[in-house]
Chains A and B, each alone.
Chain A
Amino acid sequence: MEDMIFYDRLQFAFTITFHYIFPQLTMGLSLMIVYFKWKYLRNKIEKYNDSAKFFMKIFAINFTMGVVTGIPMEFQFGTNWAKFSELTGGIIGQTLAMEGMFSFFLESSFLALFIFGEKLMGQKLHLLTGFLVFLGSWASGWFILATNAWMQHPVGYEILENGKFVLENFSALFSNPWLLPAFLHNQLASVVTSSFVVASIGAFYILRNKQIEHGKLFLKTGVIFGLISSILVAFPTGDWNAKNVAKHQPAAFAAMEGIFETEEAGAEIVLIGQPNMVEKKLDNKIAVPNILSFLTYQDWDKQINGMDKFEKEELPDNVPALYYSYHIMVGLGTVFMGIMALAAFLLWRKKLYNIKPLLWTIMFLVPFPYIANLTGWYTAELGRQPYLVYGLLRTSDGISPTVSSGNTLFTLLGFVALYMLLGLLFLVLVGKTINEGPKSKLH
């Protein structure tokens, strides 16, 4: 039973991690594509149009990967988490089915039209198709976050005697106080990823002394979008989310902040330290007193409950992983703000394109926003443990009752092998597209 839950969780974690590499880019990138195309309509400078079309090619590769790795996500609700699906399908099935209907069709139909239809449609309609692709991909984020928000903070339901959750109020799913902050935070985080990708490709072209004009445009656009989004992702949206966790999931909050013992005169904020689960303390801790109380409640002396105030059964089952995920996300977010602020300053002083070390840094930073996005999700999901539906349905009660751990281990290994191959394919395709560059063959 124990290893069954372990393999089920590991398989879901692995497949969702790999899957979320792709949508986090497409959501942010679609916004930037719409920007490039819109600019082109206003200034008629060809390189803006090239950029929109070039990034739509990158978008298309990521969309394809998102489709083939996304189908397993949907299937796994049934294959590995059958009891969870049976009990909650009447509720989260709504939001998941709506995602299929309202976002994927929109996204896939107009993606094809954007790529093939520029000449047929004319420029204004081409911008419109780009906008509809953006709308589709953000709608997808909205419905997934609505699903997740319900699991984090269930609303609008009723529990029947047989343990089934039934929907009582449809609109509550979308007015869930968890949803809007989480959605905005997630979407801005995906804009951070896309900004870094765009800036990184720009830096690459400049450093390679190839397609320089496009490279400069990419870098400039990436830095501006990157600065704005990496500030907004922390404040106000990250802050809202932290307050939501403190309010609705206090045990998760204590664990992610690494507070082992309650301090009555206000909680410190931990910057560095390793959770020691045996002695129930942080090793090598560096912390600043009272800041956490102030950030969370605007009150320096407000008491924040530590992990000592909660029963073991209520605490997340993997405190160190949760703590590290959260701190890696916050730490990286801070670095992003710093680098983007520096780059934006140099851009304003018209020096950015000549400062090689910074260009190299921006180029190689590209994996880190992905890591920050993923660790952000790990924070949300590990923090929700030991529940699937917070406070109501335990993770151990959600797995498929008839599937044995041997079968799950087999499929987990298969997914690992196949996704390695898929990752290779992705790198080949993206690498080739970047190498060909945005300059259209026509001019």
Chain B
Amino acid sequence: MEIFWYISIAVVLAVFFILDGYDFGTGIIHLFFAKTEKDKEVIAKSAGLFWDSNEVWLVAAGGMLFMAFPTFYASVFSGFYLPLILVLWLIIFRAIGLELRSQFKFQMWKDIWDTSFGVSSLLLALFFGIALGNIVRGVNLGGVDNGISVHEGHYFFLPLWDGSFSPLTEHPGVIDWFTIIIGLIAVVTLAIHGANWIILKTNSSINTKLKGVIFKLNIILAILTVFSLVVWQVVNPNSLDNFGDKPYLLIFPLIYLSGLVGLFFIKKIKKDSHAFVLSSLLIVGGITSSLASLFPVILPSVNDTHEPLTIYNTAASEYGLSVGIYWGILGFLLILIYMIIQKRLMKGKVDNMDYGH
């Protein structure tokens, strides 16, 4: 039962990062590569038309997490208080940028909101990566200080940083050199993903150039990936044990690897949608590999006093989880139907899409 909800939430989260991921990535590309007004307009539009329905997936993931693993929800959301609120603000700021930029036709106005869209997209990608880094690194559950717990064993509170910026101290902060590396991986991944989206959905003049950008970013990503695996061993020497014990879990890193390798052939790929699928594989593979390395743990503890949070010690009651399955399956079927209908009607490039078309 716990596993059903764990997998469902992982799927919803993965879909969220594929969908909202492309509009974060679009913002990053917009910030660095869009030069002419025409390109800026159409690139912003390729995110602007879709971002709000993409963020519905975040609401869904949050709701499901709340329902199935309330203790985890309570612990993690209060423990990561500041970064989560910052994420909320960035989401709002980004939305303001996207919705306002085309409302008035003078350059300074557009520049302001373009910057707000681009910078908050970049920071969001960074923060989501850092969040993932925190989850795999673990936190000081119970706030143990010199062997004494300050909080109940399943609660903690993390400051944004600890002066040392090291993941190896007794009280690691949200931002340290390890989580920063994971954050950078997220930024690069989503930038690649966003570039693929732009190529797929627009006729912008930089589409050809973006393929070169994707190629270069992919080299950086490969280096960062290898580097992160090495430092992960330093932070947590047992991090890859799960894959040794259960070799079938290796499917997830393979998904990531297939995306990474495939994207080196970006210039040879004929169909733009195939490239988009490859960067989606990066995202899915990255998230699922991280989760699989921890399973059934969902938040490791960096001290020995308190047990890590697992899907079993944070779950709601058996009855609640099992009634949820009935409406959960119904809900997923309905969402699938909506997506098919929407996909069929909203296909094609966005350049000329407008109210009434």
Interface residues of A (CB under 8 A from B): 53, 57, 63-64, 67-72, 74-75, 77-80, 82-83, 85-94, 96-102, 104-106, 108-113, 115-121, 166-168, 170, 400-404, 407, 410-411, 414, 418, 421-422, 425, 428-429, 432, 440, 442
Contacts and interface: CB of A to CB of B under 8 A. Distances in A.
B310 to A, nearest CB: 15
B328 A101 contact: yes
B103 to A, nearest CB: 6
Contact of A78 (B64, B73, B332): B73
A68 B357 contact: no
B71 interface: yes
A422 B331 contact: no
27 contacts: A64-B99, A67-B95, A68-B55, A71-B59, A77-B77, A78-B84, A87-B70, A90-B67, A90-B316, A93-B67, A96-B63, A97-B64, A98-B331, A100-B64, A101-B327, A104-B59, A108-B53, A111-B53, A112-B346, A113-B341, A113-B346, A115-B355, A167-B323, A400-B78, A401-B78, A411-B81, A418-B93
Contact of A79 (B52, B69, B81, B324): B81
Given A96-B66, A113-B345, 19 more contacts: A67-B56, A72-B92, A74-B62, A78-B77, A79-B77, A85-B77, A90-B316, A90-B317, A94-B324, A98-B63, A98-B331, A100-B56, A109-B342, A112-B342, A116-B356, A119-B356, A121-B345, A404-B157, A428-B103
Nearest to A412: B85
B103 A429 contact: yes
Q: How would you classify the secondary structure of chain A's contact residues: helix, strand, loop or mixed? A: helix
A79 to B, nearest CB: 5
A425 B93 CA distance: 11
A51 to B, nearest CB: 14
Interface string B140-166: 000100000001100111000000000
B327 to A, nearest CB: 6
B285 to A, nearest CB: 25
A401 B152 CA distance: 9
A397 B221 CA distance: 46
A274 B112 CA distance: 48
Contacts of A111: 53
Contact of B62 (A82, A100, A400): A100
B320 interface: yes
B336 to A, nearest CB: 10
A418 B88 CA distance: 11
A233 B180 CA distance: 54
A432 B67 contact: no
Given A85-B66, A116-B355, A440-B356, A403 B335 contact: no
B81 A403 contact: yes
Contact of B96 (A77, A88, A113, A422): A422
A86 B316 CA distance: 9
A358 to B, nearest CB: 33
B53 A112 contact: yes
B63 A100 contact: yes
